[in-house]
Structure 1
Amino acid sequence: MVKIHNKSDKPDNIVAKQHHIIDKCIEIETALPHFMKDYFIYLKNAVSLSTRLAYLEDIEFFLKYLISNDESFIHLNNLSEITIEQFSKLKARDINYYIGEYCTRYLKSINGNDYLFKNDNRSLARKKSSLSSLFKYMYRNNQLENNITDGFNPIKLPKPQPDAIKKLAVDEVAIMLDIVSTGEGLTDKEKIYWEKTKLRDKAILLLFVTYGLRLSEIQQLNLSSFNYGRDEFKIYRKRSKEALMPLNSTIKKALDDYISCERPNSDLLDENNEDALFLSIQNKRLTMKAIRELVKKYTSLAMGTTRDKGYSPHKLRATAASSLIDYGFSIYDVKTLLDHENITTTQLYSAQRKNLKRDIIKNFEWNDEKK
């Protein structure tokens, strides 16, 4: 474990996570061709840390494809051997074939097993964006003579439809919270763990459906994130933005029950987990995978479906947005709470307001009495 000497106001677990991502970025950059070094410096300052890693992974994957499939590169042993002269000979049609043909469906060997991977248009658009960023930068940086991105084929993304938004109904949220309190519907094996984690699980679910928090925002919470004197807590949004969220009585009670009755005393924990809010049975910070699984379990029970049909944490974010609008809050209020970049995202949830058409027509009647 790396010892953190933290002089910022960010908690150590946030700093440690960022450090881990930076290490992964550096590891990939070291394996890539040296002529991309200027682009790596550009990425560090131009995009968020998670986007930087995603772009580097996409570029690494593309270069591996070239070495495995392109005649001009197939003789090379590793990615760092690719020269700028070879790279500059790539044409737009090479990228179009890679994105439109190879990436849509490919086989990958992992631990001796072959897996079939398929990418939808949204994933393909991300891969295209990563390569467009690289080629545009190298053109502007006078490393390439032509900007081949003008010839990249467009990728049509499906327009989000309000009816397609998956979320829990208000009554299903009530059922879910009742299940986590009573254990009803759980298997005998699940009840063994539920007895030890029911207060923790309830607090997590309430945070999701009350604030519409993202998975990472909940997983990163610490005891020190909360200021009960001011009835607020701090979260770290995407792009390292900080936000203060107000506490209500329901959340305060759920957290107090968990911390007082279920969570081990911090004195009994190691220094890497003593401040973590949500802990596993092994007394370590709960992983995002574990939170994802518990959400899937309880949402599947609330909807009366199989476990594999349960919802992801992001569907609880959608649930919070739709519920707030159903309760009469404006889309601008919801946008602020959920930190949507664009109001059109929030409008999608507004369009799903239950019985909206009925309410409009009921209060807009043409009759003699209103003349």
Structure 2
Amino acid sequence: MDLPFKDNALLAFFKYLKTEKNFSLHTQKAYFFDIVEFITQTWGDEAIEAQSLAWKQIDKNAAKGYIFSLQESKISKNTLLRKCSSLRSLYNFFQREELQSTNPFQDIKAAKKDKSLPLILSREDISTLLSSPAPYWAQKKGKNNDFMASRDAAILEIIYSGGLRIQEALDINFDQINLEESTLKIFGKGKKQRTAYLGNPAKQALEQYFACRKNAELNWTSANDPVFINLKDLKRLSARSIQRNLKAYLQSCQLPPDITPHKLRHSFATHLLDAGADLRSVQELLGHENLSTTQIYTHISTDRLLQAYDQAHPHAQS
């Protein structure tokens, strides 16, 4: 990511996010846009390329005023929280580097984050979706249809089987797969490593995809080669590509168009809890740092249990 900044402190901050914090490119971009917005609203557009910025001018009153202006702009609570976090992290870094003695954003409280319950797919819908690439590509004209179908089926299968984030799945290299033990070595947020597990459908989907790669003479040459590639340039497949294909699959099998790859991860967690898995195990499988992040799925699971009770228990009938 190319940065337009000339301010050395700001350049050092983004280098810190990348090299020390190991933030994903997605998170770095979010911080970038949040901080650019702050700079332009505080000092004007020309300040972005200024040699140095007057960071010490920002006191607690100025910080409160800026946050208040964000609240007045009617952005979502989650976006407001993220913007506060970006600026708080920036000034924490300045304190660490002894560029600033105080953090004006430290004690400013924004509205609590909305904790909406994620959409969960039924097992029937999961089965329909995961089997949709093959019939979709069978209707298309082209010599690479088997490759496209097997690749996308394998991606969707391992996301659901392992509870992966879409980028975690697309970042997999060949040395991260152990088919004999049915495991994947996953590097999550902050490059934290965990093990994901492959059920038989996911394992078979990967084996079928590898066979299609071999038939297309696209064998991997290095353990660090990406598993999932774009046929046009043979480079690592982008999240945008699989999201675009997913929309087509959803339409072809008449599932709601707002289903995303992340909904498969949500469904993975809830289906495990429904089947009796304990919360700590689900936390580890998802790669959540805090148990509280995983606990939202217990609410969904409880709701589903109550629904089952209402439908099945004779004394629950009105």
TM-score (norm: length of structure 1): 0.69
Distance 1:221 1:133, change over 3 A: closer
* Structure with max Cα Rg: 1
Question: Aligned to 1:277, what secondary structure does the other structure show?
Answer: coil
Task: Return 339-348 or 37-46, whichever deviates more.
Answer: 37-46
- Once the two structures are superposed, the pairs formed by residues 235-250 of structure 1 within 5 Å of their partners are 235-250=186-201
Q: 2:7 aligns with which of 23, 33, 43?
A: 33
Q: Does 1:265 align with 2:217?
A: yes
Amino acid at match of 1:182: P
Give matches, 1:112-131, under 5 Å.
119-131=75-87
| Counterpart position of 1:58 | 34
> Letter of the aligned partner of 1:328 in structure 2?
G
Q: 2:51 aligns with which of 62, 68, 81?
A: 81
Gaps of 5+ in 2: none
The aligned amino acid for 2:230 is S
Name 1:213's counterpart in structure 2.
164
Question: Aligned partners of 1:296, 1:31: CA distance in 2, in Å?
Answer: 37
Residue 23 of structure 2 is matched in structure 1 by: 49
1:148 partnered with 2:116? no
Identify the residue that residue 95 of structure 1 maps to in structure 2.
63
TM superposition score normalised by structure 2: 0.79
The equivalent position to 1:296 in structure 2, one of 243, 247, 253, is 247
Correspondence for 1:223: 174
Distance 1:78 1:260 in 2: 51
Which secondary structure does the structure 1 equivalent of 2:39 belong to?
A: helix
Change (3 A) 1:151 1:243: closer
Cα separation, 2, equivalents of 1:187 and 1:68 = 54
Residues 251 and 62 from structure 1, CA distance in 2 versus in 1: closer, same or farther, beyond 3 angstroms? same
What is the rounded CA distance, in whole Å, between the counterparts of 2:199 and 2:186 in structure 1?
A: 16
CA RMSD in angstroms, aligned pairs only:
3.7
Distance between the aligned counterparts of 2:196 and 2:231, measured in 1?
A: 28
Shift of 1:350: 2.3
Deviation readout 1:141-178 (Å, 9 max, x if unpaired): 654465433574x22134414xx311211111122133
CA displacement at 1:261 relative to structure 2: 2.9
Question: Structure 1 CA distance, aligned partners of 2:20 and 2:259?
Answer: 34
Q: Alpha-carbon deviation of 1:249?
A: 2.4
> Distance in 2 between the 1:37 and 1:210 partners?
40
Kept after mapping to 2: 8 A contact 1:334/1:346: yes
Write the letter of the residue equivalent to 2:135.
Answer: T
Question: Which amino acid in the other structure matches residue 339 of structure 1?
Answer: G
Residue in 1 that maps onto 2:296: 348
Residue 148 of structure 1 aligns to a residue whose secondary structure is coil
Q: How many residues align?
A: 309
1:335 equivalent to 2:287? Answer: no
Is it true that 1:321 corresponds to 2:269 in the alignment?
A: yes
Percent identity for Structure 1 against Structure 2: 25
Q: Is the 8 A contact 2:84 2:105 kept in 1?
A: no
Q: Which runs of 4+ in 1 moved over 6 A?
A: 190-193, 271-274, 360-365
Task: Output one character per residue of 1:198-243: Cα deviation in whole Å (capped at 9) or x when no partner.
Answer: 1112111111111110111111122332223333222211111222
Distance in 2 (alpha carbons) for counterparts of 1:176 and 1:273: 30
AA partner of residue 35 (structure 2): I
Read off the aligned partner of 2:41 and give its amino acid letter: Y
When residues 169 and 191 of structure 1 are mapped into structure 2, their CA distance, relative to the original with a 3 A threshold, is farther
SS state of the match for residue 300, structure 2?
coil
The one-letter code sitting in structure 1 at the alignment partner of 2:260 is S
Query: What secondary structure sits across from 1:31 in the alignment?
Result: coil
In structure 1, list runs of 5 or more residues that go unmatched: 1-23, 70-75, 106-117, 366-371
Match for 1:168 among 121, 145, 167? Answer: 121
- CA drift at 1:356: 0.8
